[in-house]
Each structure stands twice: as C-alpha cells, then as structure tokens.
Amino acid sequence: MTATKGLEGIVATTSSISSIIDGVLTYRGINIDDLAAHATFEEVAYLLWHGKLPTASQLAELRSRLDEYAPIPAEIIEQIKLYPDGTNAMAALRSAVSALALYDEAAGDMSAEANLDKAIKLQAKLPTIVAAFARIREGKAPVAPKKGVSIAHNFLYMLTGEEPKEVAVKALDQALVLHADHELNASTFAARVTVATLSDIYSGVTSAIGALKGPLHGGANEAVMVMLEEIGSIDNVEAYITNKLNNKEKIMGFGHRVYKNGDPRAKHLQKMSRELGELTGNLELYEMSVKIEELVTGQKGLKPNVDFYSASVYTSLGIPRDLFTPIFAISRVSGWTAHILEQYSDNRLIRPRAEYVGPVNQRYVPIEQR
C-alpha cells in the first residue's frame, strides 16, 4: 500500500454532475462559458439537482419554494446574536447551518423527496443566514427576505436593507453561477464522505462549509483581498510579489490541483472585475490584480483560479472581505447538495486506507518506567 499525498490524481467516485476534461468545465455537460453567458443561478441550481435545465413552470415552482424557505427560524437569529464579537463569518455560517437541523422536523427523513426538499431549504436559507449575521454584528436588525426576486437580488437586499442596482445583481448572479459546482473539490468530497455514512444532509453541508473555509480552498478569496490591502497600491505590487515568490510563499488565488493551463472561470471574473471597476470609476484593484497576474504567471507559470478576481469583484459590489467565502458557500451549497443526493442514490461507505509509516514492534511501558 503506497499513499498518494493529497490523493492527487486518484479517481474516488463516478459522478454525472460536473466534469473537468482537458481544462473544460461543464455542469451536467453544459460548458460553463455557455452557462455564465446565459443562465441564472436558480436555473443552474435546478440543473445540478435534476440533471436538466428547468422549463419555465419548473423554474417558477423552484423560485416559489425558495421564497417559501428563505426565512430562518427566530431561534437561529437569537443564536447568531449570542456569537462573540469578532466571530469568523465562516465559523458563524457553519454553526448556524448545523443548528438549522434542530429546527427541521424532516432532518432525519432519508427519502429522496425529503432530501431534495432539504437541499432547496438549505439553498434558500444560507443567504438569509449570512446577511443576518453581517447585520447583527453591526448592531442592526436583520432584514427579512423578499419574495419574487432572485437569490442574488435578495442577498444584496438583506445585506444592505436597500434595493440593489441591477448591475450588481447581474454580477453577483454570474459569480454564483461560476462557483456552483466543481467536480470532487475538497468541500464536496467532505460532504460526500460525511453522508456516505448515511448521516443527514445538514451534517454533509456542515462538513463542507468547514472544508471550504480553509485558505487553500474557498478561503483563498478573502486571503486575496488581504493581500491586495497589504500591497496597498500598484507601485508596491512588483516588490511585494517578487519578495513573496523569492521566499517561496504562496500567492493566494493562484494555482490549482486540476487546472494547469488556467481556470476557465477566472476570465469571466476578470472581465467582471474590469467592468465593475469602470462603472464605479475605481480601477485600482483591477489594475493591481492584472499586474499581480503578469508577475506570478511570468515568474512561476501559475495562472489565477476562481478566487483571484472574485476578490476585486465583491469589493466593487461593496461586500465586506470576510463575507467573500460565505458567498462562495451560498453558491456551492447547490453543488454540495446535488452531490449529496447523488451519493445517497448509489451509496457505499467511503473508507480508504492509510499507509502506516509509524514505529513497529513497540511495547506498553508502565507509567512509572517512562
């Protein structure tokens, strides 16, 4: 038995949800470029769950269930109020999502129908939780979700209490489409491992949020913003990046386990970052990002991943830096739950082996002789 560090290149399951073949990403066989150009996030969520795009009436039905499920229990709001000052936003989301199970009588119902319904509930409630947390920590009352608007619209509305601009809604909706699923990434794998024990969907999504939080995965989008703030201005980019690379430090938002010639989602986020910069009349973050890319690609051959330009996109939308990874979760919960449903539909416990490299032939030594 020989271990493969980080399971690189190991094929751990079959799946018909998303594919990365020769650097091309598809959801249910549809190229991400096509979806980014034309689909709404709600259509994509339906596509991931059901395997095909919805008809107009199927989409309307999904939207009305999302509206119905968007409010969160009052007990969850009371719990969020008790979180200590300075609580990490992903830790808050992980805790609140775990607690949601306590208020869902169907949490333990393992029928396929009940699990799909819970997937829709989770998709509907995550934006409400993130927005409520963001307001409560500022001493403001949470804003109740609106009916009849998209998830992107509702999230921005619940965050600010104001009607968002159409351009902001469109940008966030496209970002949600681009983040929705990504084959067997670490958080999706965590979700599948958890539910393969036949644990419930809330446990699977809680595990996934924990895995997404780390800076080698979804947490990289926040880390990119920390880096942009540290750099401060375009004049400092070259010295900062060269110094980091010389010290063999990682540049957040670059590199990928699967893509070696670039992440197909990054170009859409780069375009969005430029367009939003032009609209707000502030291109500084975009221009700094482009310069960082030139240097990192030039010196290391590494390309930006999905997290790199999303940092400047979300900042242009006025979103605080520590909500970037929770927004990733708001999108990715569609993919996580699709994978959980797929895992349940043909389940086998996921239990690999470890190559033992510790000492052998040891004996118990009584405590007084140690």
- Residue selected from 257, 267, 271, 291 as contacting ligand ACO according to rule CB under 6 A: 257
* Residue 254 engages ligand ACO in binding (rule: CB under 6 A): yes
Q: In angstroms, what CA-CA distances link 268 with 53, 118, 151, 285?
A: 22, 31, 20, 16
- 54 or 219, CB closer to ligand ACO? 219
Would you say 118 or 265 has its CB closer to ligand OAA?
Answer: 265
Tell me which residues in 342-361 interact with ligand ACO (CB under 6 A): none
Q: Can you tell me which residue has the tokens 């400092």?
A: 236
Which residue is nearest to ligand ACO, using beta carbons?
Answer: 255
Is residue 263 flagged as an active site residue? no
Rounded Cα distance, 18 and 30, in Å = 9
Minimum distance between the CB of residue 214 and ligand ACO, rounded to whole angstroms?
9
CA-based nearest residue to 171, from 30, 44, 273, 311 = 273
Closest CA to 179 of 23, 343, 41: 41
Query: 3-state SS string over 249-264?
Result: CCCCCECCCCCCCCCC
164, interface contact from ligand ACO, ligand OAA, none, CB < 5-8 Å by kind? none
SS3 365: coil
Binding mask 295-324 for ligand ACO (x = CB under 6 A): -----x-x--xxx-----------------
Position of minimal CB gap to ligand OAA: 185
User: What CA–CA distance (Å, rounded) separates 198 from 348?
Assistant: 9
Under 8 Å between Cβ of 329 and 100:
no
Query: Residue 350, SS3?
Result: coil
Stretch that binds ligand ACO, among 17-25, 64-72, 210-218, 279-287 (CB under 6 A): 210-218
256 annotated active-site = yes
Binding site for ligand ACO (CB under 6 A): 6, 216-218, 220, 250-257, 300, 302, 305-307
Catalytic residues: 256, 307
